Each structure stands twice: as structure tokens, then as C-alpha cells.
Chains A and B, each alone.
Chain A
Amino acid sequence: MCATPGVMPLLRLRPAERGRKILRRDAAQLSDEALLEAVADADEQALGELYDRFGRPAYGLALRILRDAALAEDAVQEAFLQVWRGAGGYRPERAKASTWVLTFVHRRAVDLVRREERRRGEPAESLPEQLTPGADEAAITRSRREIVQDALSRLPADQREAIQLAYYGGLTQTELAERLNQPLGTIKSRMFTGLQRLQTLLVESGFERA
């Protein structure tokens, strides 16, 4: 039933597909986008460098959503492996590399938190608290964090609330509508207007260059 002759002899190739190898110090010189291209060529050092750039925000995000270190590690690990397997599908004209990578992390963490809540049979708790940053935080990520936190704080409260509960709390739009006792349409438009405004604020504040 399982091992049919059709599948096994398929494509006998050279043992491992090894694209052009880049040295570690070279990987550090690449743009995020070029780094993903190297990851698509199965370059492990490029994957390591990608983790060095985004592992920290990835873990912070997963921990904020999951509130459990072991689960957060699982989410980050699986997301980076999805990136490893699927980097060939990355299209630089559609998204920044950081956005693309962190989207995997977010999706995985949200799927996990929903699964955990189903398992425990508990509704989502209140908005997760702000975690204290590590003392040795790199300057570049601190400034990104500050810029985004500042932009968030400048959104109207109802838009900020919808975005935070969805993004950091893992709530679906339907759960949000129930929790906030608002029509679904209102929730959707708060998310839309809020994200658009956030994007404008980020561009104005030079988030790109941070």
C-alpha cells in the first residue's frame, strides 16, 4: 500500500544540493534579501546569519504571544525551518525579508496559542503584559522597538486596542468583536485604518532606516 515503485527511483541526484557557499563573514555583509536567496540555496551559514538578525525579535514576539518559553522556542524553531524549506518562494518585490520571516513566526505562534487554548479549554487571557527588554539589547533593535512603540501609542485608542489584541493576543476578528462588544465591520475597519495609519507613522519616523 505504501512503497510503490513509482516513487522511490524518482530523481537520483548528486547527494546534496550545495549552492554557492558563502563564508560567514561574507554572509554578514549581505542584505537581508540576498541572505534569503542564499538560504534558498540551502546555505546553512546564511540561515545562521538570518537567525542572528531576526532570532531575537522572533523570540520576543513568540514569547509575548505564547507566554511560555518552551512554546515560544518551538514556534521560532518551526518558523525558521519553514523559512529554510520555503525560502525559494520569497519574492523581494512583494515584501521586505524581515517582514517575510516574522510573518512565519507570527502565524506559527498564533496557531500554537489557539491550539493551546483549545487544549486547555480556556479563553484568551487579557492583553499580555509588556515584557522587560534584556539589558544587553543591541542599539539597532532598541531603536526599532522604540519607534514602533511610539507609533503604536499615537494611534487612536480603539484602533490600537484592536491591533494589539489581534497581533499580540492571537484573537480572531470574531473573538475580538465579541470581546469588545462591537459589530464585526467596526473591528475590521479599526484594524484596516489602524494599520494604514501605523504604516504612515512608521515611514515618517524613519523606521526603514533604523
Chain B
Amino acid sequence: MSSELHELVAPYALDALDADERDRFERHLAECERCSAQLADLQEAAGALAFAAEGPDPPASLRDRILETARAESAGKVIAFPRRRWALPAVATVAAAAACLAVGLGIWATSLSRSLDRERSAKDSYARAIELVGEGAQVRPLANAEGGLLVARGGGDAALVVCGLSPAPPGKTYEAWVIEGKTPRPAGLFRGGAGCPPVLLDRDVPAGAIVAVTLEPKGGVQKPTGPILVRSEAA
């Protein structure tokens, strides 16, 4: 079993594992020094492959959009950019997500309507989150914060929309976790902010798993040390 996992190092470096295999290998990697050392070399080579794919220049607007979104995230706002491709379906899906929220999260929806700004921020967040995980995403409520967890149809990609977390203090970061059974696995870092910035999780969210957020030292940790601040309800 263990030698089988060692063999996943090259496919992992090339992102050629499916979600389950990736997950198993990452757990193994945390405990296998030999694999970490090998991976560093193989990833170096795989990273170089990116340079062989150079093609046309990206549109100049892309740089502005990235910087504007980054700035907005820091300030706790979310900007939904019009999409060139799924514009109409995305609008329809946002409406569907909003309807789903209105039914599933009656209390939340009511409290939202108290603040137009906040509502707009949450709506934009959902629009952006749906862009990230795809249309038809399932929306799960959070147990102890405003927001929701969006999981792609058929499982897989997931984004967390969480409102009202203060920006992480210097030297600290928020860290998301995917918890299956009793095992929390790191799923990405974020700064928090006054609005509801959506966070694409690094890790798939399988059926039955929950997602939680803790405050951790800058750079993140492999196992949570802080208390759970936010958690999703089980599907």
C-alpha cells in the first residue's frame, strides 16, 4: 500500500490524479520525507513545462481584473465581473441559488434584507462562487455564520461564501478544512474581510463531508489548532 502511494509522486506532480487519489497522496505526502524531496524535483520539471506552452499575450484587461478583485477582497468587497460566455445561464443560476437560499435560509434572507449593501455583496459573492464551481451547484447553509457552501453538481469543486469575518490579524490567516469522518484536511487559506468574499477550496468536498474554518498562524498548518469559527451543515 505504502509503495503504491510512493508511485503517485510523478502523476501528482503532473496533476494527473483524480480527486480521491490526489487526496490519498497528499495525506501520505505529509508523512513521507522521501516523497516530499522527490516531489520538489519533479514539480520543478513539471513547472518548467508551463514555459513551453507560451502563446499569445493575455488580454490587458485580465491584469486589471485580477488586481481589482484582489483589492476588493482585501477591502471585504466582492466584484462580480460579467462573463463573456455563461452570462445568461449564470444569471439564471444566481436567481435559482437565491431562491434556494430564500427557502432554505429564511432567517438569513430576512436578516440580509436589512442591509442593501450587504445583500448586494452576498449576491455578488454567490455569482462569483457559481462561476468558480459551475452551474447547478448545491448550496449548503453554514451552521454558525452568514453565508453558504457551494458544491459543484456531482461533487468536487467547492467554494465557501462566508460573511462578516473580520480581516485576519497580522501573522494569522483563516484556514478552511474539509472534514470527513473525524479527519480535517487543509483546504485553503484566506484573509477574511467585511463583506462575503468567496473562497474556492483547494480540495474537493465529498458527500457527507463538512467544511470548517479556523484562525491559524500565517502560512497555515496541516492540522487545525484554533477553535472552529464557521462550519457548514452536512449535506
Interface residues of A (CB under 8 A from B): 1-4, 6-8, 10-13, 16-17, 19, 40, 42, 44, 47-48, 51-52, 55-61, 63-65, 68-74, 76-78, 80-82, 84-86, 88-91, 94-96, 98-99, 102-103, 105-107, 110-111, 115, 118-119, 131-134, 136-137, 141-142, 144-145, 147-149, 151-152, 163, 166-168, 170-174, 176, 185, 187-189, 191-192, 194-196, 198-199, 202, 207
Query: Contact between B54 and A133 (Cβ–Cβ < 8 Å)?
Result: yes
- Known A60-B55, A195-B42: A16·B85 in contact at CB below 8 Å: no
- Known A47-B67, A148-B52, A167-B49: A84·B166 in contact at CB below 8 Å: no
CB closest chain-A residue, reference B170: A17
Query: Contact between B169 and A76 (Cβ–Cβ < 8 Å)?
Result: no
Q: In the complex, what distance in Å separates the CA atom of A107 from the CA atom of B63?
A: 20
Q: In the complex, what distance in Å separates the CA atom of A107 from the CA atom of B46?
A: 12
A to B contact number (C-beta, < 8 Å):
282
Which B residues touch A118, using CB under 8 A?
A: 154
B99 proximal to A (CB < 8 A): no
CB closest chain-A residue, reference B188: A86
Beyond known contacts A78-B200, A151-B48: 8 more, CB 8 A cutoff: A2-B144, A17-B168, A44-B67, A61-B50, A90-B219, A115-B134, A152-B52, A196-B45
Query: Contact between A2 and B146 (Cβ–Cβ < 8 Å)?
Result: yes
Selected from A51, A70, A96, A185, the residue in CB contact (under 8 A) with B44 is: A96
Give the shortest distance, in Å, between A76 (CB) and chain B (any CB).
6
B156 proximal to A (CB < 8 A): yes
- Known A12-B166, A13-B166: A59·B52 in contact at CB below 8 Å: no
Query: Contact between A2 and B50 (Cβ–Cβ < 8 Å)?
Result: no
CB closest chain-A residue, reference B74: A42
- Known A55-B62, A74-B131: A196·B57 in contact at CB below 8 Å: no
**Which residues of chain B (43-77) have a CB below 8 Å from chain A?**
43-59, 62-63, 65-67, 69-71, 73-75
Give the shortest distance, in Å, between A116 (CB) and chain B (any CB).
9
Looking at chain A's contact residues, the main secondary structure is helix
- Known A17-B170, A44-B67: A188·B188 in contact at CB below 8 Å: no
Query: Contact between B49 and A152 (Cβ–Cβ < 8 Å)?
Result: yes
Interface residues of B (CB under 8 A from A): 7-11, 13-18, 21, 36, 40-59, 62-63, 65-67, 69-71, 73-75, 83-85, 105, 107-108, 111, 131-132, 134, 141-147, 152, 154, 156-157, 164-170, 173, 188-191, 199-200, 202, 215, 218-220, 229-230
CB closest chain-B residue, reference A12: B166
Query: Contact between A16 and B107 (Cβ–Cβ < 8 Å)?
Result: no
Which A residues touch B132, using CB under 8 A?
A: 78
CB closest chain-A residue, reference B233: A1
Give the shortest distance, in Å, between A92 (CB) and chain B (any CB).
12
Residue in A40, A71, A89 whose Cβ sees the most chain B Cβ within 10 Å? A89
Give the shortest distance, in Å, between A154 (CB) and chain B (any CB).
13
Query: Contact between B165 and A10 (Cβ–Cβ < 8 Å)?
Result: yes
Which B residues touch A1, using CB under 8 A?
A: 105, 107-108, 141, 143
Q: In the complex, what distance in Å separates the CA atom of A38 from the CA atom of B182?
A: 36
Give the shortest distance, in Å, between B10 (CB) and chain A (any CB).
4
Selected from A84, A89, A145, the residue in CB contact (under 8 A) with B219 is: A89
Which A residues touch B10, using CB under 8 A?
A: 188, 191-192, 194-195
Query: Contact between B55 and A105 (Cβ–Cβ < 8 Å)?
Result: no
Query: Contact between A3 and B146 (Cβ–Cβ < 8 Å)?
Result: yes
Residue in A3, A60, A131, A195 whose Cβ sees the most chain B Cβ within 10 Å? A195
- Known A64-B53, A74-B131: A167·B46 in contact at CB below 8 Å: yes
Which A residues touch B45, using CB under 8 A?
A: 195-196, 198-199, 202
- Known A89-B219, A166-B15: A96·B47 in contact at CB below 8 Å: yes
Which B residues touch A71, using CB under 8 A?
A: 85
Which B residues touch A198, using CB under 8 A?
A: 45, 48-49
Q: In the complex, what distance in Å separates the CA atom of A128 from the CA atom of B62?
A: 23
Q: In the complex, what distance in Å separates the CA atom of A28 from the CA atom of B187?
A: 32
Q: In the complex, what distance in Å separates the CA atom of A98 from the CA atom of B235?
A: 38
Query: Contact between B11 and A166 (Cβ–Cβ < 8 Å)?
Result: yes
